[in-house]
Amino acid sequence: MKHDIMSCCGDDILEAADRNWENAGKKPKVSRPALLAAALLAVCVLAAFAVAAMMKNGSGVPVPQTDDSEGTSFGNYASPPAYRKWICLSYKDFYQLLFDPSPEEDPLIESDYDDLGPCFRNLFRILRDGTAPLLVPAYRGQIMPLKVSNGYAVILFSEEKFNLPWVWYNCEVSGAELVVELCNLRVIEDKTFPPSQTYADISRYLASLYPTAGHLTKEHLEVYSTVFEETIRLGDETVEATVLKNKSEEVGRETYLFRYGEDWLVSVWNRNKGEYTLFTDEFWADFSLIPYRNMD
């Protein structure tokens, strides 16, 4: 089966802006006196900020500033130059994409493969050499049925949260639709995370502005009614989950994010509108991730 492949690549914003000015013949010209005046003003402003920071704690040592603006947040791992996503309609199709693709569909021989970044390349390496299993969501010991919604049942992103590769499974349990997202931490070569670290600990390292309890920006508060930590029991394992509850009913009302074992980050969210009814203690007791084995 042919998989739907979507891609986009971006230019550097400043270079693109310069090119647009030049192409339009309107790149602004600034006189030397004006440049000198602007430089002096900038120095004065920076000096004032430095003095204010030193005075704030009364010690002469600058106080670290918190950036609560929107845009810097997925910081420790830069976004690769290229981005792609692969859409599959079944577990079997996804397995074939990863382990037995046709030459024209193999993600590892894409023309922009190098531009997809080292973390994406590492994902294929650890899956294909057996370092990491291909995990799929399960409920009561059985693989969760997939549901095709918005044209997909499984999506592989070359980058998503934290600029890392993620897999999304669109599933159905007891008539409810949910999305289970997985990311393997072994794709990061230059960092290991002690077993004691929770999802919240890891996410604050990977992206300081990602919402966690006690670390919310004004933009987060516009989207979420509440963000808190909750202990949930997955079978015999207990994990600390970050819980996001959305204000809008047009998106997943409720998202649980947690670390599974040592190597996996997991995000589970309810696609159904309305009340928060799916993620009960009974649901989590029956939830797990299990290795997928192709039966063909």
Interval 200-248: pLDDT, tens:
999 989 987 788 888 888 888 888 888 999 999 998 889 999 999 888 7
Instruction: Give the integer Cα–Cα distance in Å for 109 and 106.
Output: 6
pLDDT at site 93: 94
Answer yes or no: are the C-beta atoms of 185 and 264 closer than 8 Å. Answer: yes
Q: Which of 207, 205, 180, 173 is closest to 264 using CA atoms?
A: 180
CA trace torsion 72, 209, 74, 67 (10° rounding): 20
pLDDT at site 109: 66
Q: What is the helix (H) or strand (E) element at residue 172, kind and residue range?
A: strand 166-173
- Tracing tokens 């914003």 back to the chain, one arrives at 13
Q: Which residues, in sequence order, are CB contacts of 143 under 8 Å at separation 6+?
A: 91, 136, 137, 290, 292
Handedness of CA 241, 158, 289, 205 (dihedral sign): negative
Mark the ranges of the chain whose per-residue pLDDT is less than 50: 2, 4-74
pLDDT at site 14: 26
Instruction: Give the integer Cα–Cα distance in Å for 154 and 93.
Output: 9
Report CA 14 to chain centroid distance, whole Å: 25
Answer yes or no: are the C-beta atoms of 165 and 123 closer than 8 Å. Answer: yes
Structure tokens at 81: 């130059």
Q: Specify the pTM.
A: 0.73
pLDDT at site 162: 93
